[in-house]
Structure 1
Amino acid sequence: MLRYLIPAALAASLGGLAPSADAQSEAPSQGHWALVVHGGAGVIERGAMTPDREAEYRAAMAAALSRGEAVLESGGTSLDAIEAVIHGMEDDVLFNSGRGAVFTAAGRNELDASIMDGATLSAGAVAGVTQVRHPISLARAVMDNSRHVMLQGEGAETFAREQGLEIVEPAYFFTERRWAALERTLISLGLEIPPRPEGAPAPTGVDHGELDRDAREHRFGTVGVVALDRAGNIAAGTSTGGTTAKRWGRVGDSPIIGAGTYASNASCGVSATGTGEFFIRLTVASRICALVEFQGLDLQAAADQVIMDELTALDGDGGVVALTPQGDIAWSFNTPGMYRARLSEGGEPVIAIYGDEG
């Protein structure tokens, strides 16, 4: 449960090193880009994950940084970097976002996403989509090409088709381990297991030890990014499949502006992962930014106050990544681990999983 604010130039390896107190106050100069990414939080502990699986997650987080770096280094916008990073994570079965998302109690993958532009406070969000390959791009299309902020369900998918976004069959999102996790959860809840989705591949065996690890480690597999471009503009984005066996059209914090995502050039950008009901009640993302803007807290202190104090007091769990227009980066989480990574222009990447690494 360690939280750090670390200038990239001090990172000594992909695992990172804790900075000195003096180093924590440093930030990249004006005109430098920066990027911070998360891939979900949970009971992620050393020894509970196989070395191969750990390597896969570190590689996936490194690839996410590389996609964002390619956009920002070439002079691209923070919004473009958000899309590029999350596209890859939505296609990666390691994460609970897009392909590899968890199933609802009805046996569907219902996807949520949001994006926000810190320069204008424009925002877009979608909830409960089932056929859009990249929900983050649909959220951006809502922001850029509609007069609304949030669309949901069939209406969101109609808009996606009108915008020419890629549409896939629902079975595209299917993975065997997420289906097995649904079956296990429904049995524990005494609920009926729905028919296997049409078009899903033939059943294959699943390692039950892996399911046990997933239940602990991937309780929150939401992905998110905050980016700063060379023009000094912040953007944030978040994408998720929600929670296993969610019912009645449940929507969490990820597509709710101010709860799971927020960005303002006047303060900071935040993307969250955790038990959405608590993040909604606290408006976690905008609350952190408000503490920075109106109470003058530094970014790490603001993130820790909301996550370690206020969220914990409600018995909520999860974490955030955050970034200011000055290039300060912070993350905070009250779970044993969170998949996270950061990179600033001219520095070295820091990739971390467990609570005892930077």
Structure 2
Amino acid sequence: MNYALRHACLVALMASAAVAQAAEPATATTAPATQPVLVIHGGAGVVRAGMSAQDERDARAALEQALRAGHRQLAAGKPAIDAVTAAITVLEDAPMFNAGRGAVFTHDGKNELDAAVMDGAGLRAGSVAGVHRVKNPILLARAVMEKSKHVMMVGDGAEAFAKDHDVTLVDPSYFRTEKRWQQLQQALKEEAAGQAHANLETAKHFGTVGAVALDAQGHLAAGTSTGGMTNKRYGRVGDAPIIGAGTYANARCAVSGTGWGEFYIRAVAAHEICARMQYAGQSPREAGEGVINRDIPKAGGDGGAIVLGADGRFALPFNTEGMYRGWIGADGKPHVALFKDDVLAEPGDPKAGG
């Protein structure tokens, strides 16, 4: 073999080896794509009393619609925050939930709406409280996160920001539903009769909505939206829009809470759940149940939460008679439940479809 030919062969072999060597580390270190998952809630405290068969069908249908809306975003490769806001927007538009269209009334006969979102990938967050004309508060919370240097805006200022950033505003009458109005009348009647706390049971039965999601890139996000508590006064704000109390997400965990907000605020419940996962190595179930089923009831509160980890494991703890809840995985099959005795299929169960 002459020199030129030997040289050409050597160059070819070296080039081939270089290509193989360059490709080998990428193949060895590239992890498989994360399986996306979305988990939602429509409030804890659900009771069968006063709920018709049609009410139940409507609630289940709305939960499934929200799950499918969020799943479409994940299936298209969109980030977790897109799935969260898509799902919550559906729940805000459904009058059976205490958020957006179905918000409860304050003592003064108004609707005061709160919402928050958090993107775990960069610890970005946006929050709004005490707004009266924002059709979808979750979208305004996201606008605060993405289009301002602030985290939280309230009242008239938040609505001015909404107008400046093309977030849909509506007449306050949009939020009036007869069911919620009658709940306020009952609460006012009880209050006048000296039963100042009797209305709390009614308020807790129709709670906050929320969502947590894990996208194909392994990023987490959380969001929560609420109308607060029936007959609330003095601009009361609960846990939903408070980052770390009712809403929190980081690289390891995403949480949305629902329940008696004062207790979630004092416990910094959403962050506490994530801290137990991150620093104590607890699973979503261990961390969620530790806070929701032990700490908060011990302090005198109640409610529930949805908890999602970066590995796709999730938990839906609650300590009330029920919680509107559901999840959807990569196969696009929604799973929903309302009452405590509803069996909600978990990933890996044959009935879950994968």
Would the TM-score normalized by the shorter structure come out above 0.5?
Answer: yes
Does the 8 Å CA contact 1:133/1:168 hold for their aligned counterparts?
yes
Which has the larger helix fraction?
A: 2
Match of 2:232 in 1: 246
Q: List gaps (5 residues or longer) in structure 2.
A: 1-31, 345-354
Name the aligned partner's letter for residue 351 of structure 1. V
Q: 1: distance between equivalents of 2:289 and 2:223?
A: 20
Does the 8 Å CA contact 2:203/2:230 hold for their aligned counterparts?
no
Residue 321 in structure 1 maps to residue 306 in structure 2: yes
Does the 8 Å CA contact 2:71/2:332 hold for their aligned counterparts?
no
Percent identity (aligned) = 49
- CA deviation string 1:94-138 (max 9, x = no partner): 111011100100111000000000000010000000011110011
Q: 2:297 aligns with which of 300, 305, 312?
A: 312
Residue 289 in structure 1 maps to residue 274 in structure 2: yes
After TM superposition, the runs of 4+ consecutive aligned structure 1 residues lying more than 6 A away are none
Match of 1:64 in 2: 66
Q: 1:121 aligns with which of 120, 123, 128?
A: 123
Match of 1:13 in 2: none
Does the 8 Å CA contact 1:44/1:216 hold for their aligned counterparts?
no
Q: 2: distance between equivalents of 1:219 and 1:351?
A: 18
Q: How many positions carry a matched residue from both structures?
A: 308
Q: Considering only aligned residues, what root-mean-square deviation do their CA atoms show, in Å? A: 1.9
Q: 1: distance between equivalents of 2:179 and 2:94?
A: 13
The offset of 1:43, in angstroms, is: 4.5
Residue 231 in structure 1 maps to residue 217 in structure 2: yes
Larger Rg: 2
Q: 2: distance between equivalents of 1:74 and 1:295?
A: 34
SS of aligned partner of 1:70: helix
SS of aligned partner of 2:102: coil
Alignment of 1:205-284 (within 5 A): 216=202, 219-265=205-251, 267-284=252-269
Residue 40 in structure 1 maps to residue 43 in structure 2: yes
Q: List gaps (5 residues or longer) in structure 1.
A: 1-28, 192-211
Name the aligned partner's letter for residue 44 of structure 2. A
Give the TM-score taking structure 1 as reference length. Answer: 0.83
Alignment of 1:20-169 (within 5 A): 30-45=33-48, 49-169=51-171
Q: 1: distance between equivalents of 2:101 and 2:111?
A: 9
SS of aligned partner of 1:227: strand
Give the TM-score taking structure 2 as reference length. Answer: 0.84
Q: Higher relative CO (CA 8 A, sep ≥ 6), structure 1 or 2?
A: 1
Q: 2: distance between equivalents of 1:321 and 1:157?
A: 29
Change (3 A) 1:153 1:48: closer
Match of 1:24 in 2: none
- CA deviation string 1:163-203 (max 9, x = no partner): 11111111111111111111110111119xxxxxxxxxxxx
Does the 8 Å CA contact 2:46/2:339 hold for their aligned counterparts?
no
Match of 1:21 in 2: none
Does the 8 Å CA contact 1:119/1:264 hold for their aligned counterparts?
yes
Name the aligned partner's letter for residue 33 of structure 1. P
Name the aligned partner's letter for residue 260 of structure 2. T
Q: 1: distance between equivalents of 2:189 and 2:323?
A: 28
Name the aligned partner's letter for residue 183 of structure 2. A
